[in-house]
């Protein structure tokens, strides 16, 4: 199945893209998606455990993803 | 009123925020403004651009004002965060709170800005006088994304 990975700020700069279409197995978790993203050039600049949101809600590494989900890697936030 | 959170790309109007939370019962109105600072960590800043995961940022900001209103027992809370390119002294965030008493009004205002800084997916890239630009990492773990 395919999930959309969104990248922002320093992470988008590291990978040279703001979104990726990632193919993962049907029972994949957030951790599996991150492992796949790590195969992209520039991904060595991501932290080991980036903060993640699935469909605009913070999620942990064990959360299961579904076809079409939006998985966002969230750099350290700096609002205000 | 219903607690209100918005992301804007135009200048924040502080008086409009104050008006939104003023009422005959509110003896205290607190306005907090965050502005672009000229010097950060010893480096001269000429401006900042703010970026966001907009859908989620809007949702988290709204959740914060809703939670704040429930926790402190007032609905008179508004927050506006600006995105895009800002200059030094421009207002990046405005929070207005109205409450019958000042202690609670101060507490809500403080709580909202701290929650915003903790969990709303907004990022800022500082522009320095030497022409370089860098994304700010408030955790200080700049090695997380190191320059090439």
Q: Under a CB-based contact definition with an 8 Å cutoff, are residues A54 and A69 in contact?
A: yes
**How confident is the model at residue B141, as a pLDDT?**
52
* 8 Å CB contact of B122 and A14: no
Q: What residues does each domain of chain A span?
A: 2-74
- Give the nearest partner residue to B145 out of A10, A53, A77, using CB atoms: A10
**How confident is the model at residue B140, as a pLDDT?**
76
CATH of A2-74, one of 1.20.1740.10, 3.10.20.30, 3.90.79.10, 3.60.15.10: 3.10.20.30
Residues of A in contact with B51 (CB under 8 A): 8-9
* Section B78-107 average pLDDT: 97
- Give the nearest partner residue to B123 out of A6, A45, A75, using CB atoms: A75
* 8 Å CB contact of B137 and A80: no
| Predicted TM-score (pTM) above 0.90 | yes
Q: Which of A5, A7, A8, A9 to mutate to test the interface with B (most CBs of B within 10 A)?
A: A9
Q: List, in sequence order, every beta strand (DSSP E) within chain B.
A: 4-8, 28-35, 39-40, 43-52, 77-82, 84-87, 91-99, 122-128, 133-135
* Section B29-53 average pLDDT: 95
| Domains contained in chain B, CATH given | 4-135 (3.90.1170.40)
Confidence of residue B41 (pLDDT cuts 50, 70, 90): confident
* Section A63-76 average pLDDT: 97
Judge whether residue B5 has pLDDT over 50: yes
State the nearest Cα–Cα gap between A24 and chain B, in angstroms.
23
- Taken as a whole, chain A contains a residue count of 80
* pLDDT (tens digit per residue) in A4-52: 999 999 999 999 999 999 999 999 999 999 999 999 999 999 998 899 9
Map chain A to HEC letters.
Answer: CEEEEEECHHHHHHHCCCEEEEECCCCCEHHHHHHHHCCCCCHHHCCCCCEEEECCEEECCCCECCCCCEEEEECCCCCC
* pLDDT (tens digit per residue) in A50-60: 999 999 999 99
Share of chain B above pLDDT 70, in %: 95
* pLDDT (tens digit per residue) in B128-147: 999 999 999 988 754 334 34
């Amino acid at each position: 199945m395919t999930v959309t990975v969104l990248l922002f700020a320093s992470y988008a700069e590291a990978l040279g893209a703001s979104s990726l279409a990632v193919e993962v197995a049907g029972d994949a978790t957030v951790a599996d998606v991150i492992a796949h993203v790590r195969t992209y050039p520039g991904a060595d600049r991501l932290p080991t455990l980036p903060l993640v949101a699935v469909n605009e809600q913070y999620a942990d590494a064990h959360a299961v993803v579904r076809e079409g989900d939006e998985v966002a890697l969230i750099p350290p936030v700096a609002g205000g | 009123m219903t607690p209100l959170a918005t992301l804007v790309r135009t200048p924040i109007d502080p008086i409009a925020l104050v008006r939104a939370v003023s009422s005959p019962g509110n003896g205290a109105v607190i306005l907090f403004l965050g502005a672009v600072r000229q010097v950060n960590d010893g480096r001269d800043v000429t401006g900042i651009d703010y970026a966001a995961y907009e859908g989620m940022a809007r949702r988290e900001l709204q959740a914060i004002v809703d939670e704040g209103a429930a926790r402190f027992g007032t609905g008179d809370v508004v927050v506006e965060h600006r995105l895009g390119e800002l200059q030094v002294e421009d207002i990046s965030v405005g929070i207005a709170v109205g409450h019958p008493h000042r202690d609670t009004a101060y507490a809500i205002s403080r709580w909202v800005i701290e929650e915003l800084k903790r969990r709303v997916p907004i990022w800022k890239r500082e522009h320095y006088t030497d022409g370089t630009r860098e994304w700010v990492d408030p955790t200080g773990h700049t090695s997380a994304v190191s320059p090439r």
